[in-house]
Structure 1
Amino acid sequence: MTTTTGQVSFDPDPLAPGERFEAWHHAVSTAFVPLDASTEQPSQFHGSLTGLALGSLSVAGVGGDAVTVRRSRQAIAAGDPGVFKFALQVQGSSLTRQDGREAILSPGDLVIYDTRRPYDLVFDGAYRMFVVQIAVEHLGLSAEQARDVVAQRIPGSAGLGALTSSLLGSLDDQLQKGEMAPDPRAASAVLQLVQATLLSRFRPAADVPTRDVVYLEAVKHIDDRLGDPGLGVEAVARALHVSMRYLQGVFAQEGTTPSEWIRRRRLERCRLELGDPAHAHRSVSAVAARWGYPEASSFSRAFKNAYGVSPGAFRRQIVGG
């Protein structure tokens, strides 16, 4: 397992096949909490792990072949940092057992479990999970509420579950690509959204996503749809189920507007593609259309205003031709 500033990763490739399962087991127990693990064919097991300290939280993407992971009383005695794990099933399926309950997860579903008490995680095939570790004192639930919510499937298809699933899935993608920064504000937004999702199990009508959560989800929604010429403030607000005024207020706190953010991100994507030799065969107008500028003339004006040079001249400066 390698460690850089705030980040840990496990790469099984340099190891002999017979050593990989125990090395993965050690890496997981080190990154999370002491755990027991078993698999039917340890000599053929292949697993992965990437983790990052994210402000007051830590996050990790973990995956592998079929395996059973147990948090036994002996393992708790060996190390009990007092944390909850809030997990997103990214790929495959799993079974979580704790306190006499069972939660069966499919991709997109969520679950929380308490490392201070025994639990089992059963993966019957290849899988990947994104796990957020939250200190007990930061979770924001009473002891009774926490006991009531562990090992319960939280569907990722509707309501706050859908928003949480989407945000954590995006963070997992960034973690895999090495693009996640240890931004304390991101940690705050994740924690607030997790809290709201869990509290909605008790008070469904009382929870509204915070401004930080709305901002992060709006940024993700915009990036995913930059190529849509119809993308605008109204469309983003409608997708996030907030008012246009509220959305504009969220972006105003960041010193910008939703429209300006969309314009800037589109231009950044166009600039990156125009400067990439791999896309030299694509015309300037085709690049512009791909990122939401159907009219070449308006794109050319916007690009020159932003970068002081026309798109064609910029491409010639970078890639020649």
Structure 2
Amino acid sequence: MPLSLAPGGEHRRTEVIRTAALRDWVEVISETFVALKISPGESDRFAGAVHTRRFAHLLAADVLATPQTFHRTPQLTDRHPLDLMQIGMVVAGEGQLVQDGRTCALRPGDFAIYESSRPFTWNLRPEWHLQVFTWPRGAVSLTEGESQKLTARTVRSNSAVGQLLSPMLAGLLAVEQEPSPGGAMRLADGIADLAITAAQEEGEPDDPDVTARDLYANMLRYIERNLDDPDLSPQRIAHAFFISTRTVHRVFARFGNTVAATIRAHRLEVCRDAMLSPRNASRSLTDIAAQFGFIDLSVFSRAFATRYGVSPSRYRELHR
């Protein structure tokens, strides 16, 4: 497999880097992703190339190189802490990912989730092509315990969700036009949600029954219609569907989520969209937050900064 990438200069926020020096490669990988110990598989020959493109808070990258192993050691997680969620999808060659006591093997089209805050290892052979998708961990609504159940699980390209998501991931770096800022953010969030769903399907092969799935979908729609209700809560949802609050929590947990996290994520998304809308240019952040259930501006600001990495006011300035 020749180590080549199509020129990326015609797209905004895109960069191509090639090198035949291992020392430079280590620096490129660390600056692009996270600090890693890299062991080449062939001492007499090395080549590598990286093409990156950003979609809001999602960094998408093509990585091609000769055989090697990447180690995110405990020492590196201590010395160079960085909290990211990543997806690795093999395009060519073969990969083996190790994290959280699990080892998964990946062939072309297969992908897996891993996290930078905990040690991991990638073994990639022979000459290989990997696509890596990276999110700030705060932008993903998973607890650490939930994450540890999902990492290093192979999502096959022919699985139910893999058939949908693998082609989408493969084509992300090749799209000709730039999405709008709001569209890029929704795309970044949507791909993360689909990847989490895919990993959950691998971890829980017995799908929830149809009744629970329908109830969950209906409760999500109820939440979306009532985001402006400051009293929206598990108790309010239970009352609307004539079920117990315990059942509400149990159904959300069955689908790998919590009621509070779902409400907060939906509210933050609609607030973000409202902040970017030209028709709301003169409205204050307090007014927009209150419209969608955030009565306390400080609570809204902390939640927004945790999810998107910057304060609401700074985010608005950057995207005007």
Q: Which deviates further from its counterpart, 130-139 or 157-166?
A: 130-139
Q: Distance in 2 between matches of 1:180 and 1:199?
A: 32
Q: Secondary structure at the match of 2:126?
A: coil
Kindly state the Cα deviation for residue 101 of structure 1 after the two structures are TM-superposed.
Answer: 1.0
Partner deviation per Cα, 1:250-297 (whole Å, 9 max, x = no partner): xxxxxxxxxxxxxxxxxxxxxxxxxxxxxxxxxxxxxxxxxxxxxxxx
2:159 is matched with which residue? 158
Unaligned runs of 5+ in 2: 1-7, 221-320
Counterpart position of 1:228: none
Specify the SS of the correspondent of 1:44: coil
Cα distance in 2 between the residues matched to 1:165 and 1:131: 12
> Whole-Å Cα distance in 1 between the matches of residues 148 and 173 of structure 2?
27
| 1:221-267 CA-partner distances (Å, limit 9, x unpaired) | xxxxxxxxxxxxxxxxxxxxxxxxxxxxxxxxxxxxxxxxxxxxxxx
* TM-score, normalised via structure 1 length: 0.56
Identity of matched residues, %: 21
Unaligned runs of 5+ in 1: 211-321
* Contact 2:42–2:67 under 8 Å retained in 1: no
Is 1:125 the counterpart of 2:126? The answer is yes
Offset, 1:161: 1.7
More contact order relative to length (CA 8 Å, sep ≥ 6): 2
Give the TM-score of the pair, scaled to structure 2. Answer: 0.56
Give the C-alpha shift of residue 43 in structure 1: 4.5
Output the CA distance in 2 between the equivalents of 1:163 and 1:25. 33
CA 153–80 in structure 1, closer or farther in 2 if over 3 Å, else same: same
Count of aligned pairs: 198
Following TM superposition, by how much is the alpha carbon of 1:38 offset from its aligned partner in structure 2, in angstroms?
1.0
Q: Call closer, same or farther: CA 1:100–1:189 in 2, change over 3 Å.
A: closer
Q: CA deviation at 1:5?
A: 5.8
1:150-299 to structure 2, matched below 5 A, reads 150-174=151-175, 179=176, 181=178, 183-200=184-201, 201-202=203-204, 204-205=207-208, 206=213
Q: Distance in 1 between matches of 2:192 and 2:155?
A: 16
Separation in structure 2 between the aligned mates of residue 112 and residue 155 of structure 1, nearest angstrom: 12
Superposed displacement of residue 42, structure 1:
4.3
* Aligned-residue offset at 1:128: 0.8
CA distance in 1, matches of 2:141, 2:64: 28
- Partners in 1 of 2:12 and 2:159 — Cα distance? 36
Question: Relative to 1, partners in 2 of residues 1:189 and 1:99: Cα closer, same or farther, differing over 3 Å?
Answer: closer
Structure 2 counterpart of 1:8: 15
Deviations 1:296-321 (A, max 9, x none): xxxxxxxxxxxxxxxxxxxxxxxxxx
Q: Do 1:171 and 1:180's aligned partners in 2 also have CA atoms closer than 8 Å?
A: no
Opposite residue 86 of structure 1, the aligned amino acid is: I
Aligned-residue CA RMSD (Å): 2.6
Report what 1:53 is aligned to.
54
Q: In structure 2, do the counterparts of structure 1 residues 119 and 180 end up closer, same or farther at CA, with 3 Å as the change threshold?
A: farther
Q: Please give the alpha-carbon distance, in whole angstroms, between the structure 1 residues aligned to 2:107 and 2:174.
A: 18
Cα distance per residue 1:28-84 (max 9 Å; x no partner): 111000011011434421111011221121111112110011001222123222011
